Structure formats: C-alpha cells, structure tokens
Amino acid sequence: MKLSLLEKYDKPTPRYTSYPTVPYWDIAPTQETWLGEVSRRISQNREISLYIHLPFCEQLCTYCGCNKRITVNHGVEIPYIESLLREWEIYVEQFPERPILKELHLGGGTPTFFSPENLDRLLRGICREVEIPEDHAFGFEAHPNNTTEGHLRVLRQNGFNRISIGVQDFSPVIMTAINRRQDEADIYNLTRRAREIGYESINYDFVYGLPFQRLQHIHYNLQKLEELMPDRVAYYSYAHVPWKQACQRRFTEADIPQGVDKRALYEVASEGLAELGYRGIGIDHFALPSDSLWKSAESGTLHRNFMGYTPYSTNVLIGLGASAISDGWNTFVQNAPKVEDYQNAVSQGIIPIYRGHMLTDDDIYLRHHILNLMCRFGTSWDKTEWDHHPQLSTALGRLRAMEHDHLVSLNGNSIRVLPNGLPFIRNIAQCFDARFWQNRPTEAVFSKSL
C-alpha cells in the first residue's frame, strides 16, 4: 500500500455496523413505540434475529473494547438469566404471532462463563416461544480456556450449529501482553471436539495490531490455520480507544504496530488466507467456499448489523441483556449498559432503553447505500433520486477525490470500489454519512480505519 494513501485515509472512521452510528443517535423511542414497531414488523415478516449479551468474564483481557463485568462470583449467573428471560417475556407478550427465530447469537463478555446447565435453562426458555427453521444459524463466542465439552453438547442440543473461537493470536508473548490465558492445546482440542459433536461452521477470531505483534506472528498464525482449517476467519483491526477502555492503558502506543507496519500485518494475513482457499468477505472476514458466509456473498445477500457480517437479513434484530442493541430497521434501541440498572428495570417489567434513534427517510436512504458498499463494494441509484435526496450529490462530490486516487469508479448512476479502495471501504462509506459531516467530532470518538 502506498504510504501517501495510508497517511491520507487512515483516519478515525466508524465501522458502520449501523447507520446512523451510535454517537449520532438523537431521540430514543418510548417502550410503547418500540414494542409497537417490533410487533408491526413481525406481522409483516415473522423471521427475527436474536442477540443475547452475557457480559461476565473471570479475567480482564486488556485489548478488549466490549462491555464486560469482571468477576469470579458465579452467583451472578442465575439472577442474570432470570432477567434475560423476563426481558424476553416482555417482548413475547407483544408478539402478534409466533416468530421464526432465524438467527441467534450469544456474545459477551464470555458466554461460557455460564455453566452448561444455566445456558440450557436460558435457551429452553427462549426457544419455547419461537419456531426454529431448518436453515437457522445459532452461534456463540467461545473462550478456548473455559469452553468445556458440556458447553458444546448443551448448546448443540439447543440447535447451535456455529462456534466462534477467540484465538486473537497464537503467540504466547502476545497473549501474555493482553492478559489472556489460553494455549494452542486449548484451541486444538476445542476445534476437534466441536467438529466431532457436529458443529457445521467453526470461526476463528484474530486481531491484528496487538501489542508486540510482528510479521512472524502472522506467518505462524497462518501455519496453524493450515493445520486446523476453520470454516471462517475474522481478522479484526485492534481498535485502540483508551479514552473508552481504561484497560488499554496498560500498554503504550509505542508497543502497538501502527501505520504501514500495522497494515502489513493484515495484508500478509489476507494473502496467506487466499493461498489456503479462503475468500475475503467485507472488510475483515474470510470464508471457505462451503461456508454460508461465502455463499451469501456470492448470491448478493450478505448483510451487516450490530453482530457484524451475517448471511441473513431479518426484519427485526432483538438484543437482550445489558448494553444489547436492537434494530427494527427504522428504529434502534440500546439497553442500559450497567448490569444493575438493566436488572432493576427488567424486574419492573420495563425494557431498560438507555438510548436509541428513530431513523428519518434520509437516514434509511443513506443506510441502504452504506450497507451496499460495506457488503457488496458498490451501490447504484435511479436518476429520480437526485431530486429527492440532495445528500447523494454531496456524497458523490466527496468521492471525486477518491476516484482521483483510483479507489473507486463512478459510472453514471453507480459506484464501484476498485481493488486499491478495498482497504478504505469504511472511508468510502463515510462519504454517504451525512450526520458525520454535519457534526464532525472535535474529540476522539472512533478508531482509525486501518
């Protein structure tokens, strides 16, 4: 990559798991309005997605930017599960008919902090209220250090067919730097048992740009991938946001690869994965041809939401748990991030809406183009849209400089991202982000784009 392009475009930029992005949300809907919108959309299409946030971890990983609660007290499990089931009950009472649960994901925190028995209790309570289609996608985030065979079997019995293993890097030096306890044997054994028990898709999460990470670590990761060959690989950019996550202050910026050094880590990983038969999907995912993520990218149905890239797009994504975000397409809501606030509200029969946003017609229009760019590396429009959406002309004006840099091709009523532009897809999507340009942040809000 040219240094001049990196210096020009490696700027703080949203990741666009939503539009508008969270800092630009304004007025949250009331609970009545939100539940009414959920009911209306389910009456149009019964397929829903469900995300359940399980925030507890026994140990702090210092690179982590997630909402989490560090504790070794497992007495928190049952009260939290009771709160999740109570929140779900509030939704179920409003459903106009029995929904079809197309997609379910357990995120964290560390979902396998919870015992297999308590996860079974949670999932049985959730699934008794829905229909589960044959082509469902149920997945969970697994820490190699504490995911037991009991976890694998209980989740498989409840319909789970995907597992996402948090590898981050195979190097013990880097694992020590980020305070994460796991070793190669944990990853090997978890992968082997998941396959034996019948999980259809195994994903490995990696992070590039971690403290002390160098090219030799990426090459070593590729060697291990060649041995294990998971169905998917996610190679996320480390987001250094110490103003949001105090734990990231435990190492300095001098410890973190940056600029061309950081980008080289990703490019070597990407080239190595291609040689192993993986196809790059979106900004940071890779999949084998047999995987549903590859197939959705091929068919043009790839979607992106608060859970990242997904093969499915449903009318409603409901988020349960502290800090969980829900998406009703024209409405966003986020639950209270603090566990105690979340549980207190739910115990009173209240969905603890902490913030949210009612999308305008312009928001929905721009979201469509940003999603197309993030998922399909291009978008198009009809000539009549110029009159109704002046933001389109403004966005294209910003894209002219990128066309000059050979990042995009503008052809009449369409835009296509060129190979040189793929690393800068977040920057390209940002050209359509009217809210960002109307109120550009004066302080650190987003991580850098690369």
Binding-site residues for S-adenosyl-L-methionine, please? 51, 63-65, 108-110, 141, 168, 180, 205, 239, 325
- 13, 86, 19: which is closest to 391 by C-alpha? 19
Cα separation, 438 vs 431, whole angstroms: 12
Give, as one character, the DSSP assignment of residue 210: -
Is the separation of the CB atoms in 343 and 80 below 8 Å? yes
Cα separation, 390 vs 379, whole angstroms: 16
**Residue 65 burial (10 A CB sphere; 0-12, 13-18, 19+):** middle
One-character DSSP codes across 357-372: EE--HHHHHHHHHHHH
Pairing relationship of beta strands 56-57 and 69-70 according to DSSP bridges: parallel
Three-class SS of residue 222? helix
Binding residues for [4Fe-4S] cluster: 57, 61, 64
205 φ/ψ angles, rounded to the nearest 5 degrees: -95, 125
Pairing relationship of beta strands 162-168 and 279-281 according to DSSP bridges: unpaired
Cα separation, 237 vs 284, whole angstroms: 8
| Integer Rg of the chain from CA | 21
Is the separation of the CB atoms in 10 and 449 below 8 Å? yes
- 234, 254, 250: which is closest to 242 by C-alpha? 250
Is the separation of the CB atoms in 108 and 66 below 8 Å? yes
Binding residues: 51, 57, 61, 63-65, 108-110, 141, 168, 180, 205, 239, 325
Cα separation, 394 vs 362, whole angstroms: 13
Is the separation of the CB atoms in 123 and 144 below 8 Å? no
What token pair was written down for 181? 């306890």
Query: Residue 124: how many CB atoms within 10 A of its CB?
Result: 12
